[in-house]
C-alpha cells in the first residue's frame, strides 16, 4: 500500500452510562477485562493504514481516562481533544488540529469496539477513490414508518443501517464543518451531505454494533471470547 496521503482516526467518546443504568460512562466499562474504548483504539492502531489517532473526550473525563491508562498499562499512542456540547462540535474540535489537505479521516464511535480490520481498510480505500465512505449494513427486518399514529411499510431493500467509521477526504470535512450546527445533523455523513457532497455506502459489519445497553456488553464479550 503506497500513498502520499496521511490517515487519521477521530474516535468520539462522549457518551454516558445512563441507558445502562450505570454511573461509569459506557466507553469506560470493562469488556473482556479492559475498557471498551481501549478495544476501539486498538482496532485502529493495528490497522494497515496506521492512522494517527485523535480521541475526543469530555474534559471532565480526562483524569479518569489517564487513571485507566495507567491501570491497564495501555500503550496505544493517541492525542486527546476535549469535546463540545454536541457530536458536531466534538468532531469540529478534532478537525481543527488536522491541517494536511491530503488527509483521509475516519470518524468512529468510541463504543463500537468490534469494528473489523476489513471495514476500516475498505472505508479508507473507498474514501480515497470516491471522496467518502460510510459503513452501513442492509436492513434484514421488515421496516415500518410511524407518523401521526399511522404506520407505513417501507421497502427494506432500500434501507441501510448506518454505522461508523464514516471516512472522508479532508476537503469535504473542512467545507462541511464550516456550516452552523443543525439538529438535523445526526452523524458526520448528514453534515457532509448538507454541504453538497453525495454519500457513498461501504459494506459494514454485523458485529460492528454500538455498546448502548447491558445486553450489548454481554454479546460483545461472548463474540470476543469466541474469536469471531
Query: Is 1 inside a domain boundary?
Result: no
* Host domain of residue 157: 6-225
| Counted domains in the chain | 1
- What CA–CA distance (Å, rounded) separates 77 from 206? 28
Q: What is the mean pLDDT of the chain?
A: 93
Query: Is 11 inside a domain boundary?
Result: yes
- Give the model confidence (pLDDT) of 109-143 as tens digits: 999 999 999 999 999 999 999 999 999 999 999 99
Q: What pTM was estimated for this model as a whole? A: 0.93
- Give the model confidence (pLDDT) of 172-197 as tens digits: 999 999 999 999 999 999 999 999 99
Percent of the chain predicted with pLDDT > 70: 95
pLDDT band per the 50, 70, 90 thresholds, residue 22: low
**CATH code: domain of residue 67:** 3.90.550.10
Lookup: cell for 9: 482516526
pLDDT band per the 50, 70, 90 thresholds, residue 18: very low
Amino acid at each position: 500500500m503506497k500513498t502520499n496521503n496521511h490517515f487519521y482516526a477521530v474516535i468520539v467518546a462522549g457518551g454516558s452510562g445512563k441507558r445502562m443504568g450505570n454511573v461509569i460512562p459506557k466507553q469506560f466499562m470493562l469488556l473482556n477485562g479492559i475498557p471498551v474504548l481501549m478495544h476501539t483504539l486498538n482496532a485502529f492502531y493495528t490497522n494497515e493504514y496506521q492512522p494517527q489517532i485523535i480521541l475526543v473526550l469530555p474534559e471532565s473525563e480526562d483524569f479518569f481516562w489517564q487513571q485507566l491508562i495507567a491501570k491497564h498499562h495501555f500503550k496505544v499512542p493517541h492525542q486527546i481533544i476535549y469535546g463540545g456540547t454536541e457530536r458536531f462540535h466534538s468532531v469540529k474540535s478534532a478537525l481543527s488540529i488536522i491541517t494536511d489537505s491530503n488527509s483521509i479521516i475516519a470518524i468512529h464511535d468510541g463504543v463500537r469496539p468490534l469494528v473489523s480490520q476489513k471495514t476500516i481498510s475498505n472505508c479508507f480505500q473507498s474514501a480515497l477513490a470516491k471522496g467518502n465512505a460510510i459503513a452501513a449494513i442492509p436492513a434484514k427486518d421488515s421496516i415500518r414508518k410511524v407518523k401521526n399514529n399511522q404506520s407505513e411499510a417501507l421497502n427494506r431493500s432500500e434501507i441501510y443501517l448506518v454505522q461508523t467509521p464514516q471516512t472522508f477526504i479532508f476537503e469535504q470535512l473542512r467545507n462541511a464543518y464550516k456550516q452552523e450546527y443543525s439538529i438535523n445533523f445526526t452523524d458526520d455523513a448528514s453534515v457532509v451531505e448538507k454541504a453538497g457532497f453525495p454519500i457513498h455506502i461501504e459494506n459494514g459489519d454485523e458485529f460492528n454494533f454500538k455498546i448502548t445497553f447491558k445486553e450489548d456488553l454481554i454479546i460483545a464479550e461472548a463474540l470476543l471470547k469466541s474469536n469471531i
